Amino acid sequence: MTDLLKRAREWLAQDPDPDTRAELSDLVERADPAELSARFGAKLEFGTAGLRGELGAGPNRMNRVTVMRTAAGLARVLGPGKHVVIGYDARYKSDRFARDTAAVLTGAGLHASLLPQALPTPVLAFAVRALGADAGVMVTASHNPPRDNGYKVYWGDGSQIVPPVDAEISAAIDAVGRVDELPLDAPGTLTELGEEIIDDYLDAITALPLGTARELSVAYTPLHGVGSGTLTGAFLAAGFESPRAVEEQRNPDPAFPTVAFPNPEEPGAMDLIFALARASEADLVIANDPDADRCAVGVPMGGGQWRMLTGDEVGALLGEYVIGQTSGDRMVATTIVSSTLLGKIAAAHGVRYGETLTGFKWIMRAGPGLVFGYEEALGYSVGGASLPVHDKDGIGAALAVAALAAGAKADGRSLLDLLDDQARTYGLHATSQLSVRVEDLALIAGAMARLRAEPVAELGGRAVERADDLAEGVGGLPPTDGLRYLLAGGARVVIRPSGTEPKLKCYLEVVVPVTGEVAEARQRASAELAELTEALRVTLGL
């Protein structure tokens, strides 16, 4: 307890934020062991995902001291004279963290450019390359709960950092001393960017292959995030009518008051947008997560019923659409946990295909000629001759989905019809997830060790035809903690620990040939996924 109090007082002495100083002063005065340990017994670790955590005082929380130390570490790795673009969303403290980052970087002799307002993450990713910067920082916690914030770092290629850069920055952060001793704000080294950078981004994504059809009614929600203005501008610039937005969720609000969890994949998050879609008789539903790097898509089923498409369904539709709209030597890519359908589409069209580890930092490095990449967690990057954004882009993806839907509508068809076409051509590829949350992380490590020590011979009545230990770097991929089982009949299961939550995540896929009605194949696939999921629960033993 004495050591915790000592560290807390040292932190308090350098903290520039009156909010966290008041919080920490109270904890020190009460000598609260549990709360002090939660903040000072560990620290947020900087990695390829940057930082993400709950707001509050101490090294295990997101706060101004943590952010300034991180900026100082980044400055040491980059060196004086380098240029960093900084963006931020509308979460609590995001603008303050962005300005603290600028102050530390300029004080260290770097040049910082600050985006003009709270904007989507893809605008920052675009700006890094557009401005020829050496790195970028985005202050965001994406779709995390309201009390969280985060810090993503991009390199000069406009994509998120990968090893060994993350380890270099982490080591540099650890070497930073007191933040109240850092030099701040060197004159003439901060540029406050104007609205022109937004216009440049809109010019880039509206130049994507978007066909000519524009008649489409779209219902939209940014889920209280920063996507609304940019998405509306993109739709109008591309010639679409302005989407009709959920009024209660149109404007940024860091409290996210109408949703339990600001993630389109979470139960209840899409209730208001589907209600608007029914009332307005929309053709399409589009939702962004709070920093607008992800895009969710909903389609009408008839009779006032709507359903949300899976990330794999949208990925397959957009992948084939982009291939059809482009030419030359091209590549499309997805991750080892996404559906295998994109690979079959690529082969049928004579296009190169790449498969990477999870995360857009890997997708963007799949290979030359990349015109489309996606991950099943609603992330897509759509290109033409090249990709305007080297990260997932929920605004550009929304435009491409609207163009695809408008083209289908002009032909008297729908996105569901296009999915049925793919099922008939390539087989019905159905995917689902099983996530097991634990209180003790040792249970996950134990489950992975047990699966490696006791090879699985069958799952759900399907023989395991091949088992890959991804920790061994299978197929040229960097090593990662995961197991992949290829099962009889084209089914597949991938098991890996979550990188951000105390979960073991399992990704399941079955492939069902379509010999009659597609609806019958979907029912069969649903039953097979349910059977495989139950067998997997038993095998995991958690």
Question: Which residues carry out catalysis?
Answer: 142
CA gap 91, 143 in Å, rounded:
10
What b-and-e string marks burial along 122-156, b requiring 16 or more CB atoms within 10 Å of the CB? bbbbbbbbbbebbbbbbbbbbbbebbbbbbbbbbb
Q: Please choose, from the candidates 484, 487, 538, the residue with its C-alpha nearest in 3D space to the C-alpha of residue 511.
A: 487
Give strand ranges (E) for 37-187: 51-54, 83-88, 111-114, 135-139, 148-155
CA gap 389, 238 in Å, rounded:
17
Pair of tokens at residue 233: 């501008």
Label the pairing between strands 503-512 and 428-437: antiparallel
Q: Please choose, from the candidates 64, 194, 197, the residue with its C-alpha nearest in 3D space to the C-alpha of residue 129.
A: 197
CA gap 454, 65 in Å, rounded:
46
CB 361 within 8 A of CB 48: yes
CA gap 105, 97 in Å, rounded:
12
What b-and-e string marks burial along 439-455, b requiring 16 or more CB atoms within 10 Å of the CB? eeeebbeebbeebeeee
Sign of CA dihedral 420, 421, 422, 425: positive
Three-state SS at 83: strand
The 3-class secondary structure across 316-369, one letter per residue, is HHHHHHHHHHCCCCCEEEEECCCCCHHHHHHHHHCCEEEEECCCHHHHCCCCCC
CA gap 250, 246 in Å, rounded:
6
CA gap 87, 98 in Å, rounded:
7
